[in-house]
Amino acid sequence: DRFYWYNTNNPQYILHHNRVRDIYEDRQHTVWIASDASIAYYDEKKHQFHYFVLTTPDNRNANWSYAVYEDHYGRLWISNFNCGVIIVDKKQLMSSALKGTYHVKKLYEKLDALKGENIVRQIIPDDSGHIWLMRGNEMIRIDEKTLRMKVFPISQTQVCYCKNALWLIQGPRVCRFDIKKEKLQTISENKLYDEFRSMIVKGNYIWLSSPDGCYQINIARRSIRYMAGLPLGNFLCGNYQPAMGMVLWGGESQLLFFSPSHYRYSSPPVVISTVIKEKKTKGGQESTTCSLEPGKREIDIDNGASITLELSTLSYDLDKNEIFYYQIGDEASWHRLPVGENRLNFMNVSSSSYKLRLSTSNPTIDPHARITTYVLNVPPPWYSSWPMILVYFILAVAAIYLLLKRQQFKNRKKMELREREKTLELSQMKTGFLVNMSHELETPLSLVVSPLSKLLQSSRDSSEREILRAVQENALKLHTVIEKIINISSTRKEDMDTLLRSHVEINQLLKNCINVFASTIEQRNLTVTYSSAAKTVWMNIDSQKIASAVTNILSNAINYVEDGTGKISVRMTTGADMLTISVSDNGPGVPEEERQMIFLRFFQGKNPIKHQGGIGIGLYLARKFVEQHGGSLNVESMQGACFTIQLPLTGDNILKDEEEPTGVSVYPQELQQDMGENINIEKTEKPEPVPVRHILSADEVLMEEITQVIEDNMSSEDFNVSMLAKKVGMEQKTLYRKVKQLAGMSPIAYLKELRMKKAALLLENHQFTISEVMYMVGYSNASYFARCFSEKFSMTPKQYREQQ
């Protein structure tokens, strides 16, 4: 027999295109090919292929063909890239062979849906008069007679027909589609498979090829088995030769054929030939290699070591590309090593006993696979030995004991916290009672002080004047105590945010404020001058807070002037929409570097001339109370200090038209009669309003915020500099630098300073016990609190309380 090689470069046996996609033998045993150069039939006499040029009704080229098939009606079905599927009469097509061109007169409208990018790659007939067209994502069934079609959205890469079923390749899966029931069944779905490339059908069997070997499907049993022992390769097509009884596979540069009837193969047993152990040492990795004795099925491995097992079949007549499968422990699935790989690696093996099963064929699909079992023994580490377990038990008992002690400590702390909270609650109740009582006493006491001044001025009896002066002095002391209690309560945010407005005549209010210090003014021989530009000025204000602001400023001025030569001037002027109260003195004044800080809570200047101690809260409260009324409090210092209060004569500060003012209209002459000999009344004809010039600097705002945060969290024992920095939104280093620059001390010292001053303020008024004060300023240890207090005031809290 002669063989002919047809290709595009052989002029004697030429092909118009080397890409031949289908070879088909029709019912008259004529061989047809479908290629990228159109379809052609083979002339056995001339040993040549005759091509047809196909054109569509709109003169498009239809040569690019994929498959060809002849039905029972003598029609050729041609799958085409441009036109989907063309159905032509075979006789008419053959009669046009001399012309070489066949013009398709009409395309079947029902097959128009087949046009597009999804190419029909296979045309397969069944035994029930249907033709199946295979596209990548669907199968189309067409009746040969009526050309009715039905689409099944089932993807496939290759299909064959056998015994009323279509057998499909779907990547690594093999499926069976029952054409009568129209149901799809998966025959095999194993992730160990590579993709199946081609299939051959003959009789009751289907053979499949894949890069990892060949497989055989028993159609009757619908089972699949791996044909171990056959050479591996990338076989893309195959055929069954009944004359030889052989299955032929064609692949890349190789050809495989074997007889299925004579195939008898049992996979060889797998053994572990070499064991390589690696273990970490101080010097690095230590590796040991040893051969495993034949017949030995147990391998000892150090805990945490890495091991490499070399697998072998001890057979040298098989293909070198042997595939090994393995299973570890109770796993249900089998794993496969890459083709040609015989090393099995395990990293950092933990203590246990493992069963390792090995095979050269996949036991999942090969019931005859031979499995070899090994046992890997990994002993526990030293820290899992019985002596160490005893040590662990002792440590566990110790840990439980420590946990119980810790829980007891927590419970004790909880009890202390509850006691502290209860103490603070009682302190708040006590504060509320004292504040309410002070408010009730303040108004009648003010009505007592004013008549006493008049009686003292009008009395001519020296003994009577002494009695009245003693009464006045004690009344003023009582008034001072009440003011201190009110000031302490006013430091609370809820009290500071509340204004109790009433109709107040400002001249009378200022007179009462000056009279509070009448005894001190007389004793120290000071000169106080009061001037007013208006007979009466009525405002709607919180008289208690404005009086407290003026009193604190007057107290500050009196403390800083010299005995005998001290002069204090109080002036009230009114403008179109502003009332101004200024208090000036001839004292040392306020240093430039302290002017922005004196209004901060607990700030105390360094001037040593003060006649009276304090904790630095008076000016802070004065500004707060004035600002609550929409006003401002400023300080200037040239020859002495001048504090200026400005209150707007607008909004809530003025009386409404329909309201009638109540109270006594006081004239300058009457004011003079009520005041002492050292207090003079002057009349100002024209108002001289003082402009607002004070603007809070960034440093002052920062210190106010820091002080406010400390004040809000002062009762917390856990409050520290770290929490302060977090609440202020500043790094600890930056906070330290700023506080050191502005306050002259570290944040820790500043926090301690404020706590001690707050403690002194609470102790001064005898409202709380020393324990209550200790809790209120964030201390829980009495001895430590007493030591800190002694460092600040050179006396114990008890001594300070008794001295006050």
Alpha-carbon distance of 186 to 477, in angstroms, equals 104
Look up residue 52 and give its two tokens.
Answer: 């047809």
pLDDT of residue 404: 94
In the predicted model, what is the mean pLDDT of residues 410-420?
A: 84
pLDDT at 446: 66
Which pLDDT does position 224 carry in this prediction? 78
CATH architecture label of 271-382: Sandwich (2.60)
Q: Given this model, what pLDDT does residue 473 score?
A: 74
Region 452-480: mean pLDDT is: 76
Q: How far is CA 366 from CA 174, 224, 688, in A?
A: 16, 8, 113
> Concatenated DSSP letters for 259-303?
-GGG----PPPPEEEEEEEEEEETTEEEEEEEEPPTT--EEE--T
What CATH fold (topology level) applies to the domain 699-803?
Arc Repressor Mutant, subunit A (1.10.10)
Q: What is the mean pLDDT of residues 559-587?
A: 90
Asked if pLDDT for residue 447 goes beyond 70, the answer is no
User: Around Cβ 632, how many Cβ atoms within 10 Å?
Assistant: 19
Residue 107: pLDDT band with limits 50, 70, 90:
low
Q: What is the mean pLDDT of the chain?
A: 80
* Alpha helices, DSSP H, located in 83-175: 90-95
- The average pLDDT across 709-726 equals 85
Using the 8-state DSSP alphabet, how is residue 191 labeled? T
Distance CA 800, CA 804 (A): 6
510 vs 609: which has the higher pLDDT: 510
The residue behind tokens 């009114």 is 574
Asked whether 598 and 632 are in contact (CB, 8 A), the reply is: no
Higher-confidence residue of 158 and 608: namely 158
Query: Residues of the chain with pLDDT > 70: what percent?
Result: 84
pLDDT per position as a tens digit, 493-524: 445 567 778 888 898 889 888 887 887 888 88
- Report the C-alpha dihedral over residues 314, 315, 318, 321, rounded to 10 degrees: 10
Whether residue 394 has pLDDT greater than 90: yes
Residue 407: CA count within 13 A, CB half-sphere = 6
Question: Which range has the worst mean pLDDT, 271-280, 296-305, 522-531, 679-688?
Answer: 679-688
Write down the pLDDT at residue 234. Answer: 81
What is the per-residue pLDDT for 638? Answer: 77
Which of 112-116, 355-359, 386-390, 473-477 ranks highest by mean pLDDT? 355-359
Q: Model confidence at 544, in pLDDT bands (50, 70, 90)?
A: confident
pTM of the model: 0.42
pLDDT at 114 over 60: no
Q: In Å, how far are 12, 15, 21, 40, 582 from 5, measured between CA atoms?
A: 9, 10, 17, 16, 122
Question: What pLDDT shows up at residue 161?
Answer: 92
Say which residue, 434 or 470, is predicted with more confidence.
470
Weakest-pLDDT range from 28-42, 550-564, 584-598, 678-692: 678-692
Domain ranges of the chain: 1-155, 271-382, 385-482, 499-695, 699-803
Identify whether the C-beta of residue 80 lies closer than 8 Å to the C-beta of residue 56. no
Instruction: Look at residue 673 and tell me whether its pLDDT is greater than 70.
Output: no
Identify the weakest region by mean pLDDT among 79-88, 99-108, 502-511. 99-108
- Which tops the pLDDT comparison, 130 or 63? 130
So what's the pLDDT on residue 631? 92
- Tell me what pLDDT residue 607 has: 61
Distance between CA atoms of 153 and 83, rounded to whole angstroms?
A: 21
Q: Find the mean pLDDT for residues 332-353.
A: 84
pLDDT at 643 over 90: yes
Q: Please tell me the least confidently modeled range out of 298-307, 690-699, 784-793.
A: 690-699
* Residue-level pLDDT at 326: 92
Mean pLDDT of 441-457: 70
Specify the pLDDT at position 621: 84
Q: Which of 414, 746, 598, 718 is nearest to 727 (CA)?
A: 718
Indicate if the pLDDT at residue 132 is higher than 80. Answer: yes
pLDDT > 90: percent of the chain: 16
Say whether domain 499-695 belongs to CATH 3.30.565.10: yes
Q: Which of 146-150, 156-160, 328-332 has the lowest mean pLDDT?
A: 328-332
Q: Would you state the pLDDT for residue 406? A: 92
**394/519: higher pLDDT:** 394
Question: How does pLDDT run across 215-242, given as a tens digit for each residue?
Answer: 888 888 877 777 877 777 788 888 888 8
pLDDT of 564 over the 80 cut? yes
CATH 2.130.10.10 assigned to domain 1-155? The reply is yes
Specify the pLDDT at position 687.
39
Residue 693 confidence (pLDDT) above 80: no
Which range, of 194-198, 449-453, 683-687, averages the lowest pLDDT?
Answer: 683-687
Predicted local distance difference test score (pLDDT) of residue 667 = 37
- Whether 269 shows a pLDDT value over 60: the answer reads yes
In tens, the pLDDT along 6-49 reads 888 888 888 998 899 899 999 999 999 999 999 999 998 889 99
Q: Mean pLDDT lowest for which of 229-233, 300-304, 477-481, 747-751?
A: 477-481
Evaluate whether 225 touches 207 at the Cβ level (below 8 Å): no
65-75 pLDDT, tens digit per residue, is 999 999 999 99
User: Which run of H or of E encompasses 626?
Assistant: helix 618-628
- How confident is the model over 696-709, as a mean pLDDT? 78
